[in-house]
């Protein structure tokens, strides 16, 4: 027995000395990582997952202290909860974000929660490598946000973080454990972030060698009606630089930006060069874009040109569907649905046309 105790003691000493070099077994609190993208912005949370382990009704205000407290260890006299177990829970943002509409710069933060029965204060700390919250210091706070504490009907055995209620530019992150949830909204200025990304990339090899990338960046500005002057320079480069190309996509994007910048005469001249270069799909897509901006007569003229040029292409028939529908003629729109079905054997197209017929009869928007 004595030899066993000595061996155990020596192993413990060695383990302390070699802690940076060995991997110890888990202590029951599972480590986890969860991430999601909001637009092109990544949000990543790393945490440990304690279990309830039969302690129902003993978690909140007991195992997890309410508010900011002196935990009797470390330097902090007013520590929040570590929002998990073991090391700091951390949350990392690849771009600037808003937490409950309050700005927070991109970066990796220690994440803490000062919790109460009905309200919680979320703390994003610039210090993210601590063990727990024993050394928490308010001076490191980057942001504090108050959010509600919500009750759950179901019991969550192991603490977890989830992304819910996702939209193009936001998501709700929720911490769930036992029968309680703490949700908070993360949102981004999706257009600003995308434009900043384009600015970093337009002079790289990725953009410099391919007209398609410059055209897509310019078209993003056109479609979203933002950053028009700079977008026009990208459109010009997609046509007139060494790797540029004069084709329907580049020219129509350039013309669209000119028109939004009140340079319609120039825009019309460019479009006259673009139209003969368009494929049936190019022209159909362009016409749908006109319809989506309420320019229905102009759209119909494009669809008719396309139909006359490509009478055997399914896309030109679908264009006529859109053209007639938005001019208020459902009967002719349905007629061209039938003719479109005769121009393809592709099951995806056929299923799509069947859905179009249903939507037209119901008076719903189409091609949106």
Q: Report the CATH number that the domain containing residue 204 is assigned in CATH.
A: 1.25.40.10
pLDDT at 207: 67
Question: Rounded mean pLDDT of 323-352?
Answer: 96
**How many structural domains are present in the chain?**
2
Res. 340: pLDDT tops 70 = yes
Question: Rounded mean pLDDT of 78-98?
Answer: 96
Q: How far is CA 118 from the centre of its chain?
A: 30
The mean of the pLDDT values for the chain is: 91
Torsional class of 367: left (φ above 0), alpha (ψ -120 to 50), beta (otherwise): left
pLDDT at 208: 63
Q: List the alpha helices (DSSP H) in the chain.
A: 2-17, 190-201, 205-208, 211-224, 228-240, 248-260, 264-274, 280-292, 296-309, 314-326, 330-341, 347-362
202 and 92 within one domain: no
Q: What is the pTM of this model?
A: 0.79
Torsional class of 24: left (φ above 0), alpha (ψ -120 to 50), beta (otherwise): beta
344 and 199 within one domain: yes
pLDDT at 29: 78
259 and 126 within one domain: no
* More confident call, 200 vs 60: 60
279 and 151 within one domain: no
139 and 41 within one domain: yes
Nearest to 282 by CA among 241, 250, 234, 322: 250
pLDDT digits (tens, 9 = 90+) for 4-35: 433 433 344 344 444 444 444 455 679 999 99
5 within domain boundaries: no
Distances (CA, A) of 66 to 59, 69, 80, 181, 251: 10, 8, 8, 15, 62
128 within domain boundaries: yes
Q: In 3-state terms, what secondary structure has residue 233? A: helix
213 and 82 within one domain: no
74 and 37 within one domain: yes
pLDDT class for 131, splitting at 50, 70, 90? Answer: confident
168 and 265 within one domain: no
Q: Kindly state the greatest CA–CA separation across the chain.
A: 98
Question: Rounded mean pLDDT of 46-73?
Answer: 95
Q: Where a domain ends, among 188, 222, 240?
A: 188
Between vectors from CA 284 to CA 281 and to CA 286, what angle results, nearest 5°?
A: 105
* Distance, CA of 88 to CA of 110 (rounded, Å): 6
* Distance, CA of 246 to CA of 350 (rounded, Å): 34
Res. 171: pLDDT tops 80 = yes
* Distance, CA of 184 to CA of 43 (rounded, Å): 13
Query: Which token pair is 222?
Result: 């056109």
145 and 287 within one domain: no
206 within domain boundaries: yes
Q: Is 334 exposed, middle or buried (0-12, 13-18, 19+ CB in 10 A)?
A: middle
Show Cβ contacts of residue 277 under 8 Å, excluding neighbours closer than 6 positions.
Answer: 246, 247, 248, 251
């Amino acid at each position: 027995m004595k030899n066993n105790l000595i061996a155990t003691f020596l192993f413990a000493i060695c383990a302390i000395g070699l802690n940076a070099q060995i991997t110890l077994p888990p202590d029951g609190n599972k480590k986890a990582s969860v991430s999601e993208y909001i637009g092109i912005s990544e949000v990543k949370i790393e945490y440990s997952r304690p279990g309830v382990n039969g302690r129902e009704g003993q978690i909140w205000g007991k195992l997890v202290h309410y508010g900011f407290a002196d935990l009797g260890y470390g330097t902090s006299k007013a520590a929040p909860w570590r929002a998990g177990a073991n090391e700091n829970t951390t949350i990392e943002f690849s771009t600037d974000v808003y937490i409950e509409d309050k700005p927070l710069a991109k970066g990796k933060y220690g994440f803490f929660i000062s919790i109460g029965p009905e309200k919680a204060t979320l703390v994003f700390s610039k210090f993210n490598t601590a063990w727990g919250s024993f050394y928490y210091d308010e001076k490191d706070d980057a942001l504090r946000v108050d959010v509600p504490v919500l009750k759950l009907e179901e019991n969550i055995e192991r603490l977890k973080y989830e992304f819910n209620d996702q939209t193009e530019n936001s998501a709700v992150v929720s911490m769930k454990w036992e029968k309680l949830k703490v949700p908070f909204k993360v949102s981004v200025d999706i257009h600003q972030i995308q434009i900043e990304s384009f600015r970093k990339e337009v002079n790289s090899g990725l953009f410099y060698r391919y007209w398609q990338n410059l055209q897509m960046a310019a078209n993003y500005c056109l479609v979203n009606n933002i950053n028009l002057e700079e977008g026009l320079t990208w459109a010009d480069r997609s046509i007139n630089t060494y790797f540029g190309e004069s084709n329907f996509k580049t020219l129509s994007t350039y013309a669209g930006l000119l028109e939004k910048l009140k340079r319609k005469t120039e825009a019309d001249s460019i479009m006259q060069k673009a139209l003969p270069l368009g494929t049936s799909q190019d022209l159909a897509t362009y016409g749908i874009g006109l319809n989506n901006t309420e320019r229905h007569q102009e759209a119909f003229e494009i669809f008719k040109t396309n139909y006359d040029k490509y009478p055997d292409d399914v896309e030109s028939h679908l264009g006529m569907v859109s053209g007639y529908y938005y001019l208020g003629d459902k009967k002719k729109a349905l007629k061209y649905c039938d003719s479109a079905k005769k121009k393809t054997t592709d099951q995806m197209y056929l299923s799509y046309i069947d859905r179009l017929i249903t939507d037209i009869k119901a008076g719903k928007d189409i091609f949106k």
